[in-house]
């Protein structure tokens, strides 16, 4: 093996290991994302979110709100894209339009709502449509609020033919798109909705300004102290924490938030903890190997630099002219003079 080929072999060894770790981490992160959605979609967790974010449910008992959630929430099933959110079905000769939950090949690769479900209002009759989205951080490639506006607009427009027909716009259901964003610089929550601003006159235009709602929830990595103001943030932070053990998470959820610890829920928490630990370890390993590779490359560069300096100094001592040394080393005159001065 030549001396020149050794650094290349080490470089490709570390590169291959780094790629392998990145693939494993990406797979773990994908599984983590799906597990996070399944945890968020638990009815008692959703009930806590609704009580803290939707005015209709504020002050209600968690158990009552959970009972108002219809069926099982759809997780990563309903496409966001126009024309694909709904699906026509023929039931006993009648055309029925519902949410498109098909997982067929033609629907693969589509962007889907993380969680979407119907919930009945206090009167037990009227319905709302709720969408919950989980984000591991605030994206850098686009502005997240623009995406939230697109999602909530689709929640409104997709109701045509499904929740209201023809021009029966009074039947449009209120929608909420609730975004849980982790790894944020501060704990925060805001409600974005339509408001009326009179520019001329004060005509009372009829309609429901409360139809369209976005709630943005920001979570830091730190677990907030027990305080009513941060009640929802403490619950969500405990669920997604990479520092708390499975037992610590379940203790907070069961004792502080009275979430029933069914076996399926415990299993999901366990999966989340294992995946979180796996991602953390993969990140540490990737960083360690990258550091070793970087250190070795830096050492090689430093060694070559010392060899060049040694050659320059020897040539200078033997009386070679600056032009001759410049030709041999391909260095600029100013750089060469500075190096000779430093080496003397």
pTM above threshold 0.85: no
In this prediction, residue 216 has a pLDDT band, given cuts at 50, 70 and 90, of: very high
From 30-44, 55-69, 72-86, 325-339, the region with the lowest mean pLDDT: 325-339
From 14-23, 98-107, 210-219, 222-231, the region with the lowest mean pLDDT: 14-23
Residue 117, strand partner residues: 130
Q: What is the mean pLDDT of residues 18-25?
A: 47
User: How far, in Å, CA of 30 to CA of 36, rounded?
Assistant: 10
From 42-56, 97-111, 219-233, the region with the lowest mean pLDDT: 97-111
CB contact burial 204-227 (16+ within 10 A = b; e otherwise):
eeeeeeebbbbbbbbbeeebbeee
Q: Are 183 and 310 in the same domain?
A: no
Residue-range definition of the domain harbouring residue 95: 10-196+207-287
Specify the pLDDT at position 23: 46
Q: What is the mean pLDDT of residues 176-190?
A: 95
User: How far, in Å, CA of 232 to CA of 238, rounded?
Assistant: 10
Cβ 45 vs Cβ 239: under 8 Å: yes
Q: Are 316 and 175 in the same domain?
A: no
Boundary of a domain, candidates 244, 266, 287: 287
Specify the pLDDT at position 294: 57
In this prediction, residue 19 has a pLDDT band, given cuts at 50, 70 and 90, of: very low
The mean of the pLDDT values for the chain is 80
Whether residue 5 is contained in a domain is answered as no
Residue 193, strand partner residues: 213
Q: Are 49 and 121 in the same domain?
A: yes
């Amino acid at each position: 093996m030549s001396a020149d080929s050794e650094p290349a072999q080490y470089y490709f060894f570390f590169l291959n290991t780094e790629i392998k770790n990145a693939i494993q981490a990406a797979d773990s992160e994908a599984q983590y994302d799906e597990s996070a959605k399944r945890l968020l979609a638990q009815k008692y967790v959703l009930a806590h979110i609704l009580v803290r974010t939707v005015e209709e449910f504020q002050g209600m008992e968690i158990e009552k709100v959970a009972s108002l959630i219809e069926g099982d929430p759809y997780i990563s099933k309903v496409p966001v894209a126009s024309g694909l959110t709904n699906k026509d079905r023929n039931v006993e000769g009648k055309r029925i339009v519902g949410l498109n939950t098909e997982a067929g090949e033609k629907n693969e690769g589509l962007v889907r709502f993380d969680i979407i479900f119907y919930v009945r209002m206090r009167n037990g009759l009227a319905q709302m449509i709720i969408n919950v989205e989980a984000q591991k951080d605030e994206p850098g490639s686009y502005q997240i609020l623009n995406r939230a506006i697109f999602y909530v607009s689709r929640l409104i427009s997709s109701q045509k033919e499904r929740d209201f027909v023809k021009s029966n716009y009074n039947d449009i259901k209120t929608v909420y798109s609730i975004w849980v964003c982790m790894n944020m610089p501060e704990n925060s929550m805001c409600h974005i909705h339509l408001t009326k601003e009179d520019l001329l006159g004060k005509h009372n235009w009829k309609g429901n300004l409360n139809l369209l709602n976005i709630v943005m929830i920001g979570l830091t990595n730190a677990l907030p102290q027990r305080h009513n103001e941060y009640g929802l943030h403490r619950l969500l932070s405990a669920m997604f924490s990479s520092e708390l053990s499975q037992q610590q998470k379940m203790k907070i959820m069961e004792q502080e938030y009275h979430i029933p610890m069914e076996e399926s829920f415990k299993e999901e928490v366990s999966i989340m903890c294992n995946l979180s630990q796996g991602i953390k370890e993969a990140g540490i390993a990737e960083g360690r190997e990258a550091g070793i590779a970087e250190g070795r490359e830096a050492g090689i560069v430093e060694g070559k630099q010392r060899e060049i300096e040694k050659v320059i100094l020897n040539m200078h001592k033997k009386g070679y002219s600056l032009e001759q040394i410049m030709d041999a080393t391909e260095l600029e005159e100013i750089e060469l003079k500075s190096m000779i001065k430093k080496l003397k």
